[in-house]
Structure 1
């Protein structure tokens, strides 16, 4: 299963009019979210990467017209990152992929199997956080 996840994480996917995005690009879009914007340093913390890595991702996403930078109005040293309309479309398309995946997964499981699966996922998550 881990090998399957790794395989998925290496390949770009198409997300609506945003076109083909790498997993790191779409996860950055997901971390920014559709509501307002996020400061660059908060985005780095949310993604658990360096500010330099986030800066490189933001440059790529700006070139694809998916995000925009603005000076943070309350502190001119801060940079606020937000999604463009095209970026919001990618965010929504990514969310729809997740919804379809979980609907398909749930349709093949009984109520009892879903409960067991959710318990296993919670335990796996706890172990991975250690």
Structure 2
């Protein structure tokens, strides 16, 4: 193996590890947010992704495409959020076997409350470390990585 190939491999690995380590450090800091004491970050992730859906409803497998949970974990999460009155289920009209998941009024309110605090803390952490230009560069680079794997941003 040439030294150029070895150096490239090392650079790729170090870049990847730095990206992951930064994400872990930031997530740990964000999870200290007091609002996450009543609603965990993964629960918030589910509510947030449901809030983005234009129709207000997603199939379980569609939700699974947007969160970092396994199918069994997301099913249990949905059960817990439903029992707390934050989400609801309904039968899909186009497929009576399909189940759609959406936010309740309380779920919408909780998502907005936690979301505001979450965004404020993200802003505080990012502003300390990066300029606006650097944030744009980071956004461009992470979109480029995601697109290279998924084919869409």
Q: TM-score, normalised by structure 2?
A: 0.64
| Higher normalized contact order (CA 8 Å, seq sep 6+, divided by chain length) | 1
Partner residue in 2 for 1:122? 140
In the TM superposition, structure 1's runs of 4+ consecutive aligned residues that sit over 6 Å from their partners are: 105-110
- Residues 1-130 of structure 1 correspond to what in structure 2 (within 5 A)? 1-8=22-29, 13-14=34-35, 20-33=38-51, 35=54, 36-101=56-121, 104=124, 113-127=131-145
Name which one, 1 or 2, has greater alpha-carbon Rg. Answer: 2
Query: Which consecutive residues of structure 2, in runs of 5 or more, have no partner in the other structure?
Result: 1-21
Query: Which consecutive residues of structure 1, in runs of 5 or more, have no partner in the other structure?
Result: none
Q: TM-score, normalised by structure 1?
A: 0.73
- How many corresponding residue pairs? 125
After superposition, the C-alpha distances for 1:29-60 in whole angstroms (9 at most, x for unaligned) are 01111642111111112225433222111011
Distance 2:93 2:64 in 1: 20
Distance 1:9 1:52 in 2: 25
More strand by share: 1
